């Protein structure tokens, strides 16, 4: 009986796999058309100051309104895009959208005048030749101050020893763009990379935030990372704050900024615009 069940599951798995592969090919095909057909959209999730809850910036998160599959989250298609040159097209599009939108908000709303927009960068973009020109183009077209752009890089995603990646990061810094290490502490932690990299923000991964204020080991990790970040001249962001307990602990343990459903979910352009209050008269 157990054997039958196993076989049943294997058959199911094969069917699922076939479907998945078919689905992937379909998605890859569709993704090529998505940018041109205006199916991609950027949502903006606020980043707040722990001291007073004020919104200091927004993280741009891409969504795909697929004609058949509905609203797709990045987990469904970023990996696919990374397997081809599509990531560079998608990345450039997100940069132009985000920089232009933030430039408009900063110009119109006194409360947004100092705000930053944070854009996620895939490791594949860092390894390729297109990122620096895409950033320059987005800043030029939008007129956004370079310091208002933060690029989020996943810690596991780059190898600071790679001379090309190191050069790209330095050139970005020379432009005045700021850098964040995303999902810090998850994946391949390498403190050696921190030593070499000129970063402005450390974003502590959600896995350490989940039990914050309830698990002394996580509290310890977060307080040590906050101290490390400050020592390196970074602002420290706690990601994935959903409850007051976590927010209070992040503040007590020395984090500067926070992000998560407690403050706000990712917002549409219209919803995010309403954060800034009245426009200039």
- Interacting residues of 263 by C-beta distance below 8 A, sequence separation 6+: 46, 47, 48, 53, 55, 241
Site for Mg ion in 218-257 (CB under 5 A): 239
Site for ligand C2E in 31-90 (CB under 6 A): 45, 61-62, 73-75, 78
**Measuring CA to CA, how many Å separate 100 from each of 60, 168, 180, 275?**
12, 22, 20, 17
From the list Mg ion, ligand C2E, none, which binds 229 (C-beta under 5 to 8 Å, kind-based)? none
Give the C-alpha separation, 40 to 35, whole Å: 6
With beta carbons less than 8 A apart as the criterion, state whether 197 and 179 touch.
Answer: yes
Give least dist CB 41 to ligand C2E, A. Answer: 11
> What mask, x for binding ligand C2E by CB under 6 A, covers residues 253 to 272?
------xxx----x------
Q: Is 120 in the site for ligand C2E (CB under 6 A)?
A: yes
Q: Is 193 in the site for ligand C2E (CB under 6 A)?
A: no
With beta carbons less than 8 A apart as the criterion, state whether 86 and 80 touch.
Answer: yes
Candidate residues 155, 183, 218, 256; the one interacting with ligand C2E per rule CB under 6 A: 183
- Closest to ligand C2E by CB, 30 or 205: 205
With beta carbons less than 8 A apart as the criterion, state whether 184 and 202 touch.
Answer: yes
3-state helix, strand, coil in the chain (%, to 5): 50, 20, 30
> What mask, x for binding Mg ion by CB under 5 A, covers residues 102 to 141?
------------------x---------------------
- Closest to ligand C2E by CB, 81 or 197: 81
Give least dist CB 189 to ligand C2E, A. Answer: 15
Q: Is 122 in the site for ligand C2E (CB under 6 A)?
A: yes
| Residue in 237, 231, 148 with CA at minimum distance from that of residue 201 | 237
Torsion of CA 246, 251, 256, 259, to 10 degrees: 20
| Pairing state between β 70-72 and 149-154 | unpaired
DSSP state of 205: -
Candidate residues 182, 200, 218, 219; the one interacting with ligand C2E per rule CB under 6 A: 182
From the list Mg ion, ligand C2E, none, which binds 78 (C-beta under 5 to 8 Å, kind-based)? ligand C2E
Give the C-alpha separation, 116 to 141, whole Å: 17
Give least dist CB 205 to Mg ion, A. Answer: 6
- Closest to ligand C2E by CB, 121 or 226: 121
Residues that bind ligand C2E (CB under 6 A): 45, 61-62, 73-75, 78, 91, 94, 120-122, 152, 182-183, 240-242, 259-261, 266
Which residues here bind Mg ion, judged by CB under 5 A?
Answer: 120, 152, 182-183, 239
């Amino acid at each position: 009986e157990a054997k039958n069940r196993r076989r049943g599951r294997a058959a199911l798995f094969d069917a699922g796999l076939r479907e998945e592969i078919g689905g992937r090919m379909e998605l890859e095909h569709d993704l090529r058309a998505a940018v041109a057909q205006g199916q991609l959209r950027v949502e903006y999730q606020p980043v707040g100051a722990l001291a007073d809850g004020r919104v200091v910036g927004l993280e741009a998160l891409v969504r795909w309104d697929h004609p058949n599959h509905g609203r797709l989250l990045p987990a469904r298609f970023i990996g696919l895009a990374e397997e081809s040159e599509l990531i560079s097209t998608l990345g450039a599009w997100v940069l132009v959208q985000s920089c232009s939108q933030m430039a408009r908000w900063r110009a119109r709303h006194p409360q947004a005048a100092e705000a930053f927009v944070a854009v996620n960068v895939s490791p594949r973009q860092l390894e390729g030749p297109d990122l620096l020109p895409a950033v320059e183009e987005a800043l030029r077209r939008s007129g956004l101050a370079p310091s208002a752009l933060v690029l989020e890089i996943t810690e596991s995603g780059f190898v600071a020893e790679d001379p090309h990646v190191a050069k790209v990061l330095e050139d970005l810094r020379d432009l005045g763009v700021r850098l964040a290490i995303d999902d810090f502490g998850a994946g391949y932690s390498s403190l050696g990379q921190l030593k070499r990299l000129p970063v402005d923000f450390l974003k502590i991964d959600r896995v350490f935030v989940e039990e914050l204020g309830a698990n002394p080991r996580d509290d310890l990790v977060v307080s040590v990372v906050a101290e490390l970040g400050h020592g390196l001249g970074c602002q420290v962001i706690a990601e994935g704050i959903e409850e007051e307990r976590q927010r209070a602990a992040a503040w007590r343990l020395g984090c500067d900024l926070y992000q998560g459903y407690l403050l706000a979910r990712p917002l549409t352009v219209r919803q995010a615009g309403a954060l800034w209050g009245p426009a200039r008269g």
